[in-house]
């Protein structure tokens, strides 16, 4: 009887332990499956909302890019019978007056590359640089909305002095000149008027005669509009707890929900440097990663004309 009783108790204990272990294993599997499903839903939601706002950001940039692209096409079509320089000046002034989303518009040419009349304007004019005669038109919109007209030195567009990020001072011109392709520059802070600065980025299009670079037309796009979209996206996710950053190709902050005071600066200045490097690699395409308790997802912004993502 003692042996039978011991055997029965042992069998019961074994069955209970086996059942308990099996249940534990099943619970762990179900927990992992539920967690994986939840993370999948979170990721899908982040990507969906990101794509929704990215379409607006891409649309904003691509719409602005149509301005210099259309003007470049018009100028190229008239190179055989060039417009009067005063007509070109009026064309650019009219373009900036009709497009509030750009803060400046400019047109620059190589030496004697437009109408071969640089010598006639060697002493300068409202459309031509003194001591050169080349067309160097530059219109800016001040914070008051007033459009100002400037003439810069013909040599200013060739400056290759580099800033702290290694970007040439005249990258806005040299990029299009060296590559003979449209270029979208890194964001930078520009002082529109004393005490009033704004983050912007240049969008440039080369003017070509066949495949030969003649000059360019460009606009500077105001980025505060993108900052509004970034903040709106952050507020729509998890009661504003989600951090959203819009990064340039180099990793400079073009918009940030939680680091608005660091616009135009590297991401590595506001978060851990090793994490910034990881995210900088991630942001160059669609990506997903988990960093501790944080979930990070990346959605690319496409500027179709410049071929930039």
pLDDT digits (tens, 9 = 90+) for 114-138: 999 999 999 999 999 999 999 999 9
Of the two residues 292 and 207, the one the predictor is more confident about is: 207
Residue 287 confidence (pLDDT): 74
CA-nearest of 82, 75, 84, 85 to 125 is 85
Return phi, psi of residue 10, to 5°. -60, -40
Distance from the first to the final alpha carbon of the chain:
81
Beta strands in the chain (DSSP E): 102-109, 136-141, 147-151, 183-184, 188-193, 196-209, 212-222, 245-247, 253-256, 287-291, 294-298
pLDDT > 70: what percent of the chain? 84
Decide: pTM greater than 0.85: no
Of the two residues 273 and 181, the one the predictor is more confident about is: 181
Is 295 a residue whose pLDDT tops 90?
A: no
In tens, the pLDDT along 177-220 reads 999 999 999 998 877 666 667 888 999 999 999 889 999 999 99
Q: Which of the residue ranges 2-6, 160-164, 203-207, 256-260 would you say has the lowest mean pLDDT?
A: 2-6
Copy the structure tokens of residue 254. Answer: 């073009």
CA-nearest of 117, 126, 133 to 88 is 126
Chosen CATH of 59-225 out of 2.160.10.10, 3.40.605.10, 3.20.10.10, 3.30.450.20: 3.30.450.20
In tens, the pLDDT along 248-257 reads 888 899 998 8
Q: Is residue 22 left, alpha or beta, with left meaning phi > 0 and alpha meaning psi from -120 to 50?
A: alpha
Domain ranges of the chain: 59-225, 232-306
* CA 127 vs CA 113, 189, 248, 262, 300: distances in Å: 14, 26, 33, 37, 39
Instruction: For the chain, give the mean pLDDT.
Output: 84
Residue 172 · residue 203 · CB < 8 Å: no
Of the CA atoms within 13 Å of residue 73, those in its CB half-sphere come to: 5
Of the two residues 52 and 285, the one the predictor is more confident about is: 52
């Amino acid at each position: 009887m003692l042996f039978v009783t011991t055997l029965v108790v042992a069998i019961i204990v074994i069955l209970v332990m086996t059942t308990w272990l099996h249940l534990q294993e099943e619970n762990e599997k179900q927990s992992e499956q539920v967690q994986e499903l939840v993370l999948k839903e979170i990721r899908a939601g982040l990507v969906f909302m990101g794509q929704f706002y990215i379409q607006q950001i891409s649309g904003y940039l691509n719409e602005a890019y149509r301005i210099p692209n259309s003007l470049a096409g018009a100028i190229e079509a008239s190179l055989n019978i060039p417009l009067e320089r005063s007509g070109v000046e009026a064309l650019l002034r009219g373009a900036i007056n009709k497009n509030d989303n750009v803060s400046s518009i400019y047109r620059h040419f190589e030496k004697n590359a437009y109408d071969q009349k640089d010598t006639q304007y060697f002493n300068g004019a409202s459309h031509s640089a003194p001591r050169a005669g080349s067309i160097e038109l530059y219109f800016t919109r001040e914070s008051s909305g007033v459009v100002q007209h400037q003439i810069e030195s013909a040599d200013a567009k060739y400056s290759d002095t580099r800033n702290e990020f290694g970007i040439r001072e005249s990258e806005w011109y040299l990029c299009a000149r060296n590559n003979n392709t449209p270029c979208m520059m890194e964001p930078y802070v520009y002082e529109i008027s004393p005490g009033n600065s704004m983050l912007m980025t240049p969008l440039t299009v080369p003017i070509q005669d066949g495949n030969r670079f003649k000059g360019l037309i460009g606009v500077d796009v105001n980025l505060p509009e993108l900052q509004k979209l970034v903040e709106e996206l952050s507020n729509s996710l998890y009661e504003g707890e989600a951090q959203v950053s819009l990064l340039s190709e180099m990793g400079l902050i073009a918009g940030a929900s939680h680091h608005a005071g660091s616009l135009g600066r590297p991401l590595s200045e506001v978060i851990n440097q090793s994490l910034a490097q990881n995210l900088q690699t991630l942001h160059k395409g669609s990506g997903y990663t988990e960093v501790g308790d944080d979930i990070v997802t990346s959605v690319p912004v496409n500027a179709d004309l410049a071929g930039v993502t």
